[in-house]
Amino acid sequence: MTDPTGRRVAANLALTLDGRYHGPGGPSDFGMFAPYVTTEVARDHLTRIWEGATTAVLGRVNAEGFLAYWPTVADDESADPRDRGYAKWLVGTEKVVFSTTLTEAPWERSRVVNAPADDVVAALKADGGG
């Protein structure tokens, strides 16, 4: 639902039937996603999500995984333009990282939050920032 006085929330979620979202190498192995996130449909979908977004809201595991990958894509002139656009946006945008274990923000322009997600997202929506 769009609130004309606040932000709109768009989500990009990955769900599994067995609760695992990683490859055989463990929680940091996202190789199993590569064939799916590099399709034309997936790239176009992600582009539609981030083009109007002003803030990324991430959990700690995603934030740490993204930090290890996306900044290099932002600088890779041979990367797909949609991937590079997303990477540049992600590196440059405000990031809210939910964590109960981090003591400092893992990226520039990011902040760690240890609070209920619904409260934080409601506050972001209310500030009307886009």
DSSP states of 56-89: EEEEHHHHHHHHHHHHHHHT-TTS-HHHHHHHHH
SS3 20: coil
Instruction: Indicate whether this model's pTM tops 0.85.
Output: no
Higher pLDDT, 41 or 7: 41
pLDDT at 91: 93
* Ramachandran sector of residue 2 (left: φ over 0; alpha: ψ -120 to 50; beta: rest): beta
pLDDT at 6: 64
